[in-house]
Amino acid sequence: MLALTGLVALGVFVVMIWFAVRYRRGSRADRSNPPVNNRVLELGWIFAPLAVFIAIFVWAAVVYAGFYRGDPAAMTIYVVGKQWMWSVEHANGRREIDELHLPLGQPVRLVLSSEDVIHSFFVPAFRIKQDAVPGRYTGIRFTPTKAGGYGLHCAEYCGTDHARMGGRVFVMAPAAFARWLEQGNPSPTLAAQGFEVFRRKGCSGCHAANSAVHAPELNGIFGRTVHLADGRTVRADEAYLRDSMLLPKRDVVAGYEPIMPSFQGQLDEGEIAALISYLKSTTGKGS
């Protein structure tokens, strides 16, 4: 890409300077029959760049699509941006602030959200960047391929300490990572925390199998195809589950009444992530 654009720029400049010198006023260059237009030339410099552009487009689009699709076995990590720090939550409940530890060679999927304004998770060495947007989940997938420590920045302007919002990403050998993950981690797994939230916030009051309230059974919900009351079908991914907690009236499941209250403002990003982890962990145990 650099070579290509460099060559084009150089080509234009060389021709321009060459013309400028050769046809300066008073030079003895041949000026007979100057052309004022040339259709073949015009079409040539329309379609030649077009062909090159399409090639670059495809190349870049294929790599970009890789940030969206990837290994279903990828390790999911929740990352929450807030003014002015990154808070990270691993599946086993281990939390870290402004640091992210990753095992070498393991495909990772970051699920990003924000507590306040838009932030952007940027690791220059990995060539990745993804905005963390309040009110929704965004994600990015990659596989760390080299051990070491790398700079982490916020790339979307977020207020006073935007320039200081950042930290380090550490890529470790898998065994060292496993040790790190267990080390000094008194907290239960994210799924266990989620189960606790599930009971404490009263979700289980309606969504339990023996409940008197007519609410969808949630065991094994994650990854299923859900039929909605308005005829649409959606896949129950993180974004769907999140929206169902905060905007329950939007995607009502077929056969149920829109009676669920919104939990907007009652659940923070950590609790939402824990609930989703809990729902994921019920896959295979469902009725």
Ranges within 109-138 binding another protein (CB under 8 A): 116-118, 120, 122, 124-125, 127-131, 133-136, 138
Cα–Cα separations (whole angstroms), residue 244 to 66, 125, 247: 28, 36, 5
Residue 232 engages another protein in binding (rule: CB under 8 A) = no
DSSP string, 109-173: EEEEEESSS-EEEEEGGGTEEEEE-BTS-EEEEE---S-EEEEEEE-S--STTGGG-EEEEEEE-
Contact 193, 78 (CB under 8 A): no
Cα–Cα distance, 66 to 74 (Å, whole number): 13
Residue 151 engages another protein in binding (rule: CB under 8 A) = yes
Looking at the Cβ atoms of 184 and 261, the one nearer to another protein is 261
Under rule CB under 8 A, which residues in 64-93 are in contact with another protein? Answer: 64-65, 67-68, 83
Residue 243 engages another protein in binding (rule: CB under 8 A) = no
Tell me, residue by residue from 261 to 280, as one string, x for binding to another protein by CB under 8 A and - for no binding: ---xx---------------
Residue count, binding to another protein (CB under 8 A) = 76
Name the DSSP letter for residue 262.
P
Phi first, then psi: give them for residue 80, nearest 5 degrees: -115, 125
Under rule CB under 8 A, which residues in 178-207 are in contact with another protein? Answer: none
**Minimum distance, C-beta of residue 285 to another protein, in the bound complex (Å):** 32
Tell me, residue by residue from 20 to 39, as one string, x for binding to another protein by CB under 8 A and - for no binding: x--xxxx--xxxx-xxxxx-
**Minimum distance, C-beta of residue 187 to another protein, in the bound complex (Å):** 27
Q: Which stretch binds another protein (CB under 8 A): 149-157, 188-196, 222-230, 273-281?
A: 149-157
Q: Which residue in the set 3, 40, 46, 97 belongs to the binding site for another protein (CB under 8 A)? A: 46
Cα–Cα separations (whole angstroms), residue 207 to 26, 154, 286: 90, 38, 13
Contact 100, 142 (CB under 8 A): no
